[in-house]
């Protein structure tokens, strides 16, 4: 890859540092998309030993690129995101990926196709971790930042994505336990 091509790709990715998500950090500022992607990749690295049959490197690569479309569209909270929003984000990302030099173009396209198909263990693991990282971050934010609908969403979001794994079901159960304690404590 030519240095200028690398810099062009990194320039797009830099927008993820600027684009914020719906959730706050524990310090009370909005979380960036890049911060979410970084911690998601760290989660994939850390849980890798629980999934010895999975290609951990591929899962981490999925985590790193999964929200690149938001460099163009910004982040839309899950409870506001429509199928049309998802189609637009996918289309703009696909168009951008087609401009990349090889081998990045082929690798990104293959990973995105696998992630969207949700058929492989790696794709399912990335998606489950993506959902779980969001609820973990939400638990770390001040409960005063939660919308009323998030009290239930916090307990159900990602539930369907963890069903394939006893480990992930246990992780979701612990996250839910911490959510319920946070909610209970806020009422005291």
User: For residue range 26-66, what is the model confidence (pLDDT) as tens digits?
Assistant: 999 999 999 999 999 999 999 999 999 999 999 999 999 99
Buried b (16+ CB within 10 A) or exposed e, 99-128: ebeeeeeeebeebbebbeeeebebbbbbbb
For residue 146, what are the contacts with CB-CB under 8 A and spacing of at least 6? 138, 154
Domain residue ranges in the chain: 3-187
Measure the CA–CA gap between 153 and 103, rounded to whole angstroms. 39
Task: From 66, 59, 97, 74, select the one nearest 18 (Cα to Cα).
Answer: 74
Model confidence over 145-160: pLDDT tens digits? 999 999 999 999 999 9
Digit-coded pLDDT (tens) for 103-147 = 999 999 999 999 999 999 999 999 999 999 999 999 999 999 999
**CA–CA separation, 174 and 177 (whole Å):** 5
Q: What's the helix, strand, coil split of the chain in %, to 5?
A: 70, 5, 25
Domain 3-187: homologous superfamily in CATH: Hypothetical protein af1432 (1.10.3210.10)
Q: What is the DSSP letter of 29?
A: S
Select from 24, 40, 48 the least CA-distant residue to 121. 48
| Residue in the block written with tokens 């693991």 | 125
Whether pTM exceeds 0.85: yes
Strand 30-32 relative to strand 20-24, pairing: antiparallel
Residue 188 pLDDT level (bands cut at 50, 70, 90): confident
> What's the CA gap between 35 and 156, in Å, rounded?
23
What's the residue count for the chain?
Answer: 188
Average pLDDT over residues 163-186: 97
Q: What is the pLDDT of residues 63-118, one digit of tens each?
A: 999 999 999 999 998 889 999 999 999 999 999 999 999 999 999 999 999 999 99
Judged by phi (left if over 0) then psi (alpha if -120 to 50, else beta), residue 20 lies in: beta
């Amino acid at each position: 890859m030519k240095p200028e091509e690398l810099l062009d790709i990194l320039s797009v990715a830099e927008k993820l540092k600027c684009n914020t998500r719906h959730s706050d950090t524990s310090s009370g500022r909005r979380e960036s998309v890049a911060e979410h992607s970084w911690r998601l990749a760290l989660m994939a690295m850390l849980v890798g030993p629980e999934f010895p049959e999975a290609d951990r490197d591929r899962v981490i690569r999925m985590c790193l690129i999964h929200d690149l479309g938001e460099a163009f569209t910004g982040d839309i909270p899950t409870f506001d995101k429509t199928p049309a929003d998802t189609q637009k984000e996918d289309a703009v990302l696909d168009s951008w990926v087609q401009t990349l030099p090889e081998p990045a173009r082929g690798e990104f396209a293959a990973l995105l196709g696998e992630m969207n198909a949700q058929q492989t263990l790696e794709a399912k693991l990335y998606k489950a971790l993506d959902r779980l990282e969001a609820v973990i971050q939400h638990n770390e934010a001040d409960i005063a930042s939660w919308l009323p609908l998030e009290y239930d969403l916090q307990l159900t979001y990602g539930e369907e994505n963890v069903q394939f794994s006893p480990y992930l079901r246990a992780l979701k159960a612990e996250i839910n336990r911490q959510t319920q304690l946070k909610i209970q404590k806020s009422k005291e």
